[in-house]
């Protein structure tokens, strides 16, 4: 299937729950698409517009989401472990109960995002912004939050052995 046809099928909601694997959709506009329960492990999604997309319980482990727009996306229960979220925009995203274990998210924006009960352990969030985010029960065990901006973040999170050097709280 060519890339244009796949994008059309995704936008029409036909691919929710599908096994798409390591597809290359970098730079595509998938805003508002229903990709719930979809397997996108190691997919190339850099620069993708996924704002407002439904990625509930999607598998995005190892995916490249560098510079992607995930603002307002539903990522509840999504598996973003070991994904590349460098400079991604996750402003206002729903990341409740999301798996962010080993995720790289340098200078990513989580402002106003809901990270309740999420698992960002061993993740690399250098310079990321979590302003006004809900981090209640999030487990940042061994995460790198050097120079991260946590001002206005609310809730009790677990920062056991996390690197908070230079972080603003």
Distance CA 29, CA 137 (A): 33
Measured from the CB atom, is 122 or 129 closer to another protein?
Answer: 122
37 binds another protein (CB under 8 A): yes
Residue 22 DSSP code: S
Q: Please check whether residue 5 is in contact with residue 25, taking contact to mean a CB–CB distance below 8 angstroms.
A: no
Binds another protein (CB under 8 A): choice among 38, 49, 63, 102: 102
Q: Biggest alpha carbon distance in the chain?
A: 48
Minimum separation from the CB atom of position 165 to another protein (A): 19
Q: Which residues, in sequence order, are bridge partners of residue 49?
A: 29, 69
Answer yes or no whether residue 122 interacts with another protein by CB under 8 A: yes
Q: How far is Cα 75 from Cα 46, in angstroms, rounded to an integer? A: 17
Nearer to another protein, 39 or 87 (CB): 39
Please check whether residue 125 is in contact with residue 148, taking contact to mean a CB–CB distance below 8 angstroms: yes
Helix (H, G, I), strand (E, B) or coil at 38: coil
**Number of residues this chain uses to bind another protein (CB under 8 A):** 25
| 92/120 with CB nearer another protein | 120
| 118 interacts with another protein by CB under 8 A | yes
| Least distance CB 56 / another protein (angstroms) | 9
Q: Which of 98, 133, 135, 153 binds another protein (CB under 8 A)?
A: 98
Site for another protein in 44-83 (CB under 8 A): 57, 59, 61, 77-79, 81-82
Q: Which of 141, 147, 155, 164 binds another protein (CB under 8 A)?
A: 141
Burial class of 2 by CB neighbour count within 10 A (0 to 12, 13 to 18, 19+): exposed
CB contact at 8 A, 163 and 146 = yes
* Sites of contact with another protein (CB under 8 A): 37, 41, 57, 59, 61, 77-79, 81-82, 97-99, 101-102, 117-122, 139, 141-142, 161
């Amino acid at each position: 299937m060519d890339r244009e046809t796949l994008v059309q099928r995704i936008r029409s909601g036909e691919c929710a729950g599908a096994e798409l694997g390591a597809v290359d959709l970098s730079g595509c506009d998938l805003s508002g698409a229903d990709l719930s329960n979809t397997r996108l492990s190691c997919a190339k999604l850099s620069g993708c517009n996924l704002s407002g997309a439904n990625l509930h319980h999607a598998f995005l482990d190892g995916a490249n989401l560098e510079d992607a727009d995930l603002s307002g996306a539903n990522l509840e229960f999504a598996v973003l472990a070991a994904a590349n979220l460098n400079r991604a925009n996750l402003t206002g995203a729903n990341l409740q109960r999301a798996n962010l274990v080993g995720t790289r998210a340098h200078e990513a924006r989580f402002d106003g995002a809901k990270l309740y009960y999420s698992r960002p352990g061993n993740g690399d969030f250098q310079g990321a912004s979590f302003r006004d985010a809900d981090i209640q029960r999030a487990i940042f065990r061994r995460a790198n939050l050097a120079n991260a901006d946590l001002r206005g973040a609310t809730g009790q999170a677990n920062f056991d052995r996390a690197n908070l050097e230079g972080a603003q709280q």
